[in-house]
Structure 1
Amino acid sequence: MAKRSANELRRFNLLQVLQRILDKKKQKTKSTQDTLTYKKMYKNGICNVTGNVYNKMIRFSDISYQLSQDEMKQRIFAQYSSLLNSFDANVQLQLTFINYRMTAEELLDAAYEYTKEASDIVIEEFKNLQHEYFSFLDTQRQKGSNGIIRNKYLVFTIIDQSYDSAIRRLESIEANIKANFQSMGVVTEGLDGLERMSIINFLLNGNTQHYLELEYVPKETLKTYSLKDFIAPRSIDFSYKNDEFKLNNKHVATLYLSIEASELSDRALAEYLDLELEMLISMHIYSLDQQKAVKMVKTKASDLDSIKIEEQKKAIKAGYDMDILPTDLNMHVEESRKILADLQRENEKYFYLTFTITVFEDTEKDLENAIFRLNSVAQKQNCTLKKMKYQQEKGFISSLPLGYNVTEKDLERGLTTSSTAIFVPFTTQELYQEDNEPIYYGLNALSNNMIQVSRKNLKNPNGLFLGTPGSGKSFSAKREITDTYLRTADDILICDPEGEYPPFVAKLGGDVVTIGLNSQQFINPLDISLDYGEGESPIAFKADFILTMMELIAGGKIGLSARQKTIVDKCVRQIYRRYLEKPVPENVPILEDLFNAFKESNTIEGNELADALELYVHGSLNVFNHRTSINANNRLVCFNIKELGSNLRELGMLVLQDHVWNKVTINRNRSKRTWYYMDEFHKLLAEEQTSNYSVEFWKRFRKWGGIPTGITQNVKDLLSSPRIETILDNSDFIYLLNQATSDRFILQKKLGISDYQANYITNSGEGEGLIVYNDVILPFKDKFPKNNSLYAVMTTKTDEIKRLRGAD
C-alpha cells in the first residue's frame, strides 16, 4: 500500500474538512455543530462551557490496582477516597474512559515499513525479515487486547465570575489532583485546547483521522469558521430510533447504569473497561455540602421511619404481625441509617454520581450484541444498564469530556465517599504507545498485553540493559536493535568488546568493523568536523576528549598534572591549526602529530607525555595511529574490538565514543536519530579517566538526537562506580532482568522498586524482569520464537549456537 507523505495527508484532510463545512452550510435543518454545547475553548485548555462555567482536563495513566496485593489495593483505595473528599461542593468532576479499536490499517502502520536504499536483493531480504518479525509482533498482539486502546481523562469544572479568576482556581485544583495522583504512582498530563479538541474530534469522527492537526489550518480560514466547524461530524441522526442514534456511519447507543445493589465490588468499573468494545464511559460526580448532606439524610431517614410506622399500624389493624414489612422498605431504612452513620464520620462525604456508557459499532446487529455483553456485566454487579429512551442526545452530549451534564436528575445516584470510590478508575497499568516510532519490549506480565513504547518520547531517552549472565540481557538488546532497524530510518552503532554481535549484524545486512592489532580497518581518534561538540568551538571540545584519552594513557593513578594538562591543550590547538585554515580530511591530524608536538614543546612534561604516547604511535599498540579507513555509511554498524586485547580495550571503547559523537553531530544536521549500544558498559565507568568523559557524553548525547544504551552483566561493578548516580538520573529507560541479591537491593533503593515488584527480578527466567519507563515500572516477559530465523544469531547460548549456526 502506497504511503502518503505527512504534508499530503494534511492537505488531504484539510480539503475533506473544508468540503464538510461547505456541505453543512447548505443545510437548513439543525446542524451537527449544535451537538457541541460548549461556548469557547481557549488555547491553554480551559473551556468556557456555558455562562460562568469553566473547566480543565487532564490525561492520567493507569496503575496496577486490580492485580495488586490486598495491602496495596487498600492503600490506593484510601488515597483515591481522600482525593474525592478533597473536592468541595463547588467542584464537579467528570471521569472519562475512551476505549477505541485500532483498525487493520492502523495496526499495519504501527509496524512502520522502512525500505533501505540498497540493491534489489538486499531490499528483498530486508522485507522478508520485516515480514517475519512483524508476524511475530502480530502474534504477540493477539495474546492480549492491544487492538483496543484505553485512555483515561479527568475534567474538573467550577463556576466563577471571570475567566481570569477561573484560571487561578483551576490551576490550584489541577495541582491538587496531580499531587494526589502522584502519591499513587499515577502519571498525569494537562491538556491544551488543541488536544482537547482533537479528542472530541476523534469521538465524533473516529472512523476518519484520530487527531486533526488544526495547526495546519490557515489562520484566515479560522477567522471565517470556528473550531466546531472542523470537528463536528458529517452527520448525526437522533431521530433514527428512540434509544439509539447514528453517528456518521456508526450505530451508537448511550446507556446509563442504575445502581440498585447496596454493595458493589471494586471490579464494577474494571469489568466494563476490560471489554474489547469501542465505547465511551463517563462518570459525572459532585459532592453535597456536608451539613446539607447530613440534614438531607436525616430527613430521608425520618420520612422512612414515618412510612414504617404507618405500615406497622396497617399490619396491626389487618391482624398481621407488625414486624412483617415490605422488603424494600426495611432495606431502605437500614441503608439510610448506615449512610447517616458514615457521614458523621470524618472520612465520608455524600456524592451524586451519573454513570453512562456510549457504545459504537459498525452495524445494528453488532451494537445489539455489544449491549448484551454490557448488560451481562451489570447483572453480575446486581445493577441494571438501561437505554436512555428519548434522551440519546442529552446522554451523548453529557458523555463527551466537556464537563457538562445535561441528563435528567433521576439518573443520579447518591453515594458516600467509599461507595463512590468503589468505581476505582484503575485496572492494570499498561505501556502502549502508537506515536514516534514505538518499539516492542515484551508482554505485560500482569495483563499479557504488548509493551510498546518509544524512547524518543522520553525527556532522557538514554537507557540501560542490566542482568546477570544467562538472563537474556544481550538478547533483549538485540531484539530492540532489530525492532529499531526494521521500522525506523535511524542509524544504529554498536560497541562490541566480546565479538558477540557480528553474525547478528550481518543477518540484518549491517556492516561489521573489526578494530584490532592485526586489522586493516582503522579509526583515527583525532577525527573532527566543524560541527563537532556543540558546533561552536569544536577544537575546545576535541581538546576535552584528548585530555581524557591522555589521562587514560599517561595519567596513572593520580592523573595528569596541571602542567601536563596545559601542554596537552596547547599542543591540541597547534596540531589542528592547519585543519582550521583548510578543513579537508587530509588536514586532520593523527596521533603521531600529537606525539611530535609533545616532543617539540621542549619541556619535561611534554617529553613525559610523548614517552607515554610512543607505544601507541611507534610501538606494538599503534592501531590508532592511522587515518580513518572505514566506510560507516550503513545504518547498522558493529565495531568489533575484541581483538584489541585487554591493554587497549578501554581506550578502544573511549575512541569509539568520540567517533560516534562525530556521527551524531552529522546526523543531527540531517534530523536523524543515532542509537549507540555499549556492551560491557561498566568498564567505561570503572576508571576515573574514562568515567568523567562517559558521564558528559551520556548527558550531551541526547541533546543532539543521540540515544545511548549501556549493556552489562557486571551490575555490581556498574553500581560501585561513583558516577552511576548521574547515569541513572539521566536515564529514563532501564530494562532489568534477573539480578543478584546484593545488586537487587541497591537497584530497589535507587529506582524506587517495591518488594512486590522486586519479585520479578528475583530468580526470574530468561527474558523476564522489570521495565522502568520514566516513572512507570512494569513486569514483562519476552519469549522470542526459536523457529524465527533471527533467533540463531541473537542467542548467546553455546549449545544453541552450535546447533542452529553450526560449529565454527
Structure 2
Amino acid sequence: MREKAERPAKRKLTRNQRKQIEAVIRQAKGDGKAHTVQDSIPFQNMFPDGLCRLEGGTFSKTIAFEDVNYRLAGPEDQRSIFESLCDFYNGYDPSIGVQVTLDSRSGGSAADEMFGITRQGNDLDPIRDEAVDILRMQYKRGNNGYVKTKYVTLTIEAENLPAARARFARIETDTLNRFKVMGAAAHVLDGKERLELLYNILHPEGGQFAFEWDWLPASGLSVKDFISPSSFHFGETRTFRIGRRYGAVSFLQILAPEMHDRILTDFMEADGNIMVTMHIRGINQNEAIKMVKRKITDLDAMKIQEQKRAVRSGYDMDILPSDLSTYGGAAKDLLTDLQSRNERMFNMTFLVLHTAETRQKLEIAVSQAASVAQTYNCLLTRLDFQQEDGLMSSLPLGLNCIKIERSLTTSALAVFVPFVTQEVFMGGDAMYYGLNALSNNMILLDRKQSRCPNGLVFGTPGSGKSMSCKREITFIMLMTQDNVIICDPEDEYSPLVKRLGGQVIRLSPSSTDYVNPLDINLNYSEEENPLALKSDFVLSFCELIMGSKTGLEAIEKTVIDRAVQMIYQPYFADPRAENMPILGDLMNALLSQHIPEADRVAQALDLYVNGSLNFFNHRTTVDISNRLICFDIKGLGKNLKKPGMLIVQDAVWNTVTINRAIGRSTWYFVDEFHLLLKEEQTAAYSAEIWKRFRKWGGIPTGATQNPKDLLSSPEIENILENSDFIYMLNQAAGDRKILAERLNISSEQLAYVTNSEPGHGLLFFNNVILPFADDFPKDTELYKLLTTKPSEVEHEERMG
C-alpha cells in the first residue's frame, strides 16, 4: 500500500512580499493609463487609402483644402462664399463628425535652400550673393517661415472596414464638390500623407518623416512607431511637454451674440506654431426644434414668475429684466430660423493648440491669442487638467475628448470663415515675383508647372513693366540652365544682358550682326517635313513686306511655296552652313518661274536683297548658342520693326527646336508686343507660337504698355486662352475698363492697378489672382541693372 506524500507546509508571506506581488499583478493587469507615447495616440490603425480606424466602429478620413481669395473678393463674392460654406455644413447629417483644422507651423527650411541660388565660381557670383540677400530680406518681411495648411477630417460609425469605405466613397465625392463650388482646390489624403501630417504635428521641433508601407512586416513595428515623438509629459496642470517643446491647449468661450468673419484669420496670423481646431457635429433637426421650444417655455415660465413678483410688489407687470426680454426674443427668432429658413443646429468645440521652444515663449503666444479672442468679445481659457485630451483632440483624427460645446446655427457657424487669401509659394525652380500685398508673404512660383506657362505683362510707362521682365530674366539665369531670348525694340536690356554674360545682336542697316531669316534645322517642325512650318514663316514674311491689305493671292502663295521647296533641296541633301539658303536664293527661285505673280513677289524682295535693307540677305554671322541672347531692333526704324520682330521670332523657334532635343526650356521675352499683333501676318505667327511653344519647351512672354491695341487684335483670344501667367501693373483708365471686362476683374481687385506705385499690381497665375508689391532695394548692383528710369540710368552712366 502506497503511502500518501506529505503536503509541504504552507508558506507564510511577509507583509513586504505581499506588497511586491500585488504590485507585479497590478502592472500586469494595467491601470488603464497610457504608459508609452504610442498608447497616448488615440487610433488603432491607419490604412494605405487614408482610412483610419479609431476606437470601436469609428472611422475617419482627412481632406486637405487650399485657400481662396476671400479678403480680396467683393461683397457679392464674399456672400457667395459664405452661402456655400453654409451649404457645406448643412450637407453633413448628425451621424457625420466634422473637424476643421487650421495649422500654422515653422517650415524649418533655410531660405537659401528654397531659392536655389548657389555660388558657381564665375563672374555672376557677386550678383548671386546679392540676389540671395535681397530674397532673404523679403522672406523675413512676411511669415513665409510658417507653413499654413487646412484640413477637414470626417468621422463616421460603421460595422466594418468595407462598410466604412463604401460610405466614405460618397461622402468624399460630395465634400470635394462642395469645395469646388467655393473655388477651393481639395484632395483626399492617403495613409502616408496622413501619417506625415501627424508626424509634423507631433514633432514641432522639425525632422524628416521617413516611412514606407512595406517596412511594417519586416520591422515588426506599427504605424504609430514612425510618427511618435520621443516623449510626452502631461504632469502639469496648464501645459505639457512634447519632446523638448512646451505646449498648451485652450478652448474658446464664445460670449458675443454675433461674431466677425476675421476671427480665424487673426488667430492664424499670429507668430509661432498654432493650430486651431473646430469639432462640429450636427443636431437632429426635430431635436433642435424641441430643445429651442423647451427653452422658450422655460423663459415664458420665468417671465410669468417675474410678472407675479412685480404684481405682488406693486410694480408694473410689463417691466421685465432686460436679459429675459432679450433671450426670449432671440429664442423665438431662432425657432423661426430653424422652422422656415435653411438653418440647422450644430454643437461646436473650439480648441487652440500652441507649441514653443520655451515656457516663456509659450506663455507669450497664448497671451497674444487671448488678446485676439478678447477683441471679438470671447475668452480663451486654458484646459486645466485636460492637456492630454486637448492635444489628442487637436490631432486631425476626428476624435473629440473635450466636452465643452457651444450650440450654433448654420449661419453663426459659417461666420468662422477658414479662408483668407490665396498664397503662391512653390518649390522646385520657383522664382520670386514680389510680395503678396495682403499677407506680405513672398510670391514664389514656377511657371513651368502650369498648364500653359506662356505669359503677358501689362503696364503703363514707368510702372515697372521692363524691370519686372528683367528681374525674371535675371533669376532664370541665376537659378536654371534654360535659354533666354529677348526681342528688345528700345535697347533697354543691353546692360543687363552684357553683365549676365549674354550676347547682344544689333539688327540695323549699319550693323555687322547678321541673322539669316531662312535659317532652319532638321527639327524645325514636329512633322517629318520641316519645310511645312518654315513655308508658313516665309509666306508671313512676304505678305508683311508686300504690304497688301487683302493679303497674298492664292497664286502668289503657290509660287512662294514652290520657291521654298526649291531653295532648301541643296541644304537637305548636304546640311552644311554654306548650303543654307538666303533671301537672294529665294528671289532667284521666284524669278526662275517666269510667272507675273512670282515676279511681283521677287520685286518686293529686291529691297531686302539688293537694296538698302540687304542686311537681311546674309548668312548668320553671330553666335546664337549663348544661353542669353538679346536682339536689339531699335535701329530698324518704325517701318522695319515688324519684319525684324518676325525674323526674331523665327530665330527663337529655331532655338526652341534645338533645345527641345536636349530637354532644355527656352524663354522668349518680346517687348512692345502690341506691335506684333497690329499686323495680321505677325499676329497669326505670334498666336501660333503661343499655341505650339508649350509642347516644345518654349515659354513666351509678351510685354506691352498698350493693352487696348493688344486686346483689339482678333488673335488675342488664342493668346489669352494659352496664357496662365499675367503680370498686371498700373493701368490707364481706358485700359482698366477693357481689362476688367476681358479678364473678369472685380472692382476690389481693380483698385490694385489704379494709380498704383511702380512694381505694384495684380498677378494672375492659373486660377489665382494676387495683389503684389515688388519694392526692390535701390542701393544694389542688381537694381541698377534692372531699372529703366531715365534719371537713374543717366546717373549710372555719369557715375560709370
| Structure 1 residue 288 corresponds to structure 2 residue 283 | yes
Q: Which residue of structure 1 aligns with residue 349 of structure 2?
A: 354
Matching residue of 2:413:
420
Farther off after superposition, 45-54 or 393-402: 45-54
In the TM superposition, residue 678 of structure 1 has moved relative to its aligned partner by: 0.3
For residues 561 and 394 of structure 1, what CA distance do their matches in structure 2 show? 82
Please give the secondary structure, in 1, of the residue aligned with 2:516. coil
Q: Within 5 A, what are the aligned runs for 1:468-507?
A: 468-507=460-499
CA-based RMSD? 3.5
Q: CA deviation digits over 1:653-689, x for unaligned, max 9?
A: 1222222222223333433332211001111111111
**2:179 paired residue number:** 177
Give the corresponding residue for 2:187.
Answer: 190
User: CA separation of 1:539/1:52 partners in 2, compared to 1, >3 Å: closer, same or farther?
Assistant: farther
Q: Is the 8 A contact 1:680 1:711 kept in 2?
A: yes
Structure 1 range deviating more: 267-276 or 324-333? 324-333
The answer on whether the counterparts of 1:256 and 1:356 sit within 8 Å (CA) in structure 2 is yes
Q: Secondary structure at the match of 2:361?
A: helix
Query: What are structure 2's unaligned runs of at least 5 residues?
Result: 1-33
- Farther-moved stretch of structure 1 (702-711 vs 588-597): 588-597
The aligned counterpart of 1:80 is 85
Aligned residue for 1:134?
Answer: 132
Q: Which has the greater radius of gyration?
A: 2
The alpha carbon displacement at 1:497 in A equals 1.2
Contact preservation (8 Å) 1:238, 1:392: no
What letter matches 1:366 in structure 2? K
Change in CA separation of 1:546 and 1:716 when aligned onto 2, cut-off 3 Å = same
CA distance 1:489–1:763, shift in 2 (3 Å): same
Q: 1-side partners of 2:313 and 2:281: how far apart?
A: 45
Aligned to 2:687, the other structure's residue is in SS state helix
Segment drifting more, 678-687 vs 263-272: 263-272
Say if 1:538 and 1:38 are closer, same or farther in 2 by CA, change over 3 A: farther
Residue 343 of structure 1 aligns with an amino acid whose one-letter code is: L
Q: Which residue of 448, 453, 466 corresponds with 1:456?
A: 448
Q: Which amino acid aligns with 1:369?
A: I
The reply to whether residue 95 of structure 1 matches residue 119 of structure 2 is no
**Secondary structure at 1:671's aligned position in 2?**
coil
Do the aligned partners of residues 47 and 237 (structure 1) sit closer, same or farther apart at CA in structure 2, a change above 3 Å counting? closer
Corresponding residue number in structure 1 for 2:660: 668
Residue 434 of structure 2 corresponds to which residue in structure 1? 442
Cα distance in 2 for residues equivalent to 1:164 and 1:415: 31
Amino acid at match of 2:455: G
1:721 CA displacement: 0.6
The residue type equivalent to 2:178 in the other structure is N
**Among 263, 270, 277, the residue aligned to 2:265:** 270
Q: What residue is the counterpart of 2:719 in the other structure?
A: 727
For residues 614-643 of structure 1, the C-alpha deviation after alignment (integer angstroms, 9 at most, x for no partner) is: 332333222233232222344332111112
CA shift for structure 1 position 302: 3.3
Residue matched to 1:796: 788
Deviation, 1:188, is 1.4
Q: What is residue 24 of structure 1 aligned with on the other side?
A: none
Q: How does 1:620-659 map to 2 (within 5 A)?
A: 620-659=612-651
Q: Is the Cα contact below 8 Å between 2:279 and 2:348 reproduced in 1? A: yes
More displaced 10-residue stretch of structure 1: 710-719 or 328-337: 328-337
Pick from 683, 695, 699 the counterpart of residue 691 of structure 2: 699
Q: Residues 283 and 550 from structure 1, CA distance in 2 versus in 1: closer, same or farther, beyond 3 angstroms?
A: same
Letter of the aligned partner of 1:545 in structure 2? F
Query: Which of 389, 402, 406 lines up with 2:400 in the alignment?
Result: 406
TM-score, normalised by the number of residues in structure 2: 0.85
Counterpart-to-counterpart distance in 2, 1:177 and 1:707: 32
Contact kept? 1:529, 1:662, Cα under 8 Å: yes
Q: CA separation of 1:784/1:220 partners in 2, compared to 1, >3 Å: closer, same or farther?
A: closer
- Pairing partner for 1:252 from 247, 253, 278: 247
Amino acid at match of 2:568: Y
DSSP-derived class of the 1:348 partner:
coil
Contact 1:441 1:452 in 2 (8 A): yes
Partner SS state of residue 697, structure 1: helix
**Residue 691 of structure 1, CA deviation:** 1.1
Distance in 2 between residues matched to 1:176 and 1:547, nearest whole Å: 51
Shift of 1:494: 1.0
User: Could you tell me how far apart the structure 1 residues matched to 2:591 and 2:766 are?
Assistant: 50
What are the superposed Cα offsets for residues 749-774 of structure 1, whole Å, 9 maximum, x if unpaired?
11111122222222333323222222
Query: Residue 54 of structure 1 contacts residue 157 of structure 1 at CA under 8 Å; is this kept in 2?
Result: yes
Following superposition of structure 1 onto structure 2, how do residues 580-599 of structure 1 map, counting pairs within 5 Å?
A: 580-599=572-591
Match of 2:21 in 1: none
- Contact 2:51/2:59 (<8 A) preserved: no
Asked if the contact 2:106–2:146 (Cα under 8 Å) also holds between the matched residues in 1, the reply is yes
Q: By how many angstroms is 1:415 displaced? A: 0.7
CA contact (8 A) 2:390 2:401 kept: yes
* SS of residue in 2 equivalent to 1:436: coil
Note if contact 2:708-2:738 (Cα within 8 Å) is conserved in structure 1: no
Match for 1:294: what amino acid?
I
Match of 1:106 in 2: 110
The CA distance in 2 between the partners of 1:255 and 1:476, in whole Å, is: 46
- Within 1, Cα distance between the matches of 2:763 and 2:407? 41
SS in 2 for 1:695: helix
Report the secondary structure of 1:269's partner residue: helix
Equivalent AA in structure 2 for residue 178 of structure 1: K
Q: Which amino acid aligns with 1:108?
A: D
1:316–1:711 CA distance, 2 compared to 1 (3 A): same
Matched to 1:199, the amino acid is L
**1:374 partner SS:** helix
1:61 aligned partner: 67
Tell me if the contact between 1:468 and 1:715 (Cα under 8 Å) persists in the aligned partners. no
Q: Distance in 2 between matches of 1:754 and 1:289?
A: 40
Within a 5 Å distance, the mapping from 1:523-534 to structure 2 comes to 523-534=515-526
Contact 1:257/1:385 (<8 A) preserved = yes
Q: 1:310 to 1:47 in 2, by over 3 A?
A: same
**Rounded Cα–Cα distance in structure 1 between residues aligned with 2:238 and 2:342:** 40
Contact 1:92 1:156 in 2 (8 A): yes
Instruction: Give the CA deviation at 1:300.
Output: 3.8
Kept after mapping to 2: 8 A contact 1:436/1:456? no
What SS does the corresponding residue of 1:560 show, helix, strand or coil?
Answer: coil
Number of residue pairs aligned between Structure 1 and Structure 2: 760
Q: Secondary structure at the match of 2:670?
A: strand
SS at match of 2:525: coil
- Name the CA shift for 1:768/1:406 in 2 (closer, same or farther; >3 Å): closer
Tell me the distance in 2 between the aligned counterparts of 1:224 and 1:324: 78
Match of 1:607 in 2: 599
SS of the counterpart of 1:790?
helix
1:344 aligns with 339
**1:764 aligned partner:** 756
Give, in whole Å, the separation in 2 of the partners of 1:510 and 1:292.
Answer: 75
The equivalent position to 2:201 in structure 1, one of 200, 203, 206, is 203
Amino acid at match of 1:455: R
State the TM-score, normalized to the length of structure 1: 0.85
1:753 aligns with one of 736, 745, 748: 745
The equivalent of 1:23 in structure 2 is none
In 2: Cα distance, 1:220 partner to 1:84 partner: 38
The answer (yes or no) to whether the contact 1:595–1:614 under 8 Å persists in 2 is yes
> How much identity, in percent, do the aligned residues show?
42
Contact 1:233 1:248 in 2 (8 A): no
Change (3 A) 1:245 1:572: farther
Amino acid at match of 1:58: A
Q: 1:671 to 1:678 in 2, by over 3 A?
A: same
Alpha-carbon separation, structure 2, partners of 1:49 and 1:550: 74
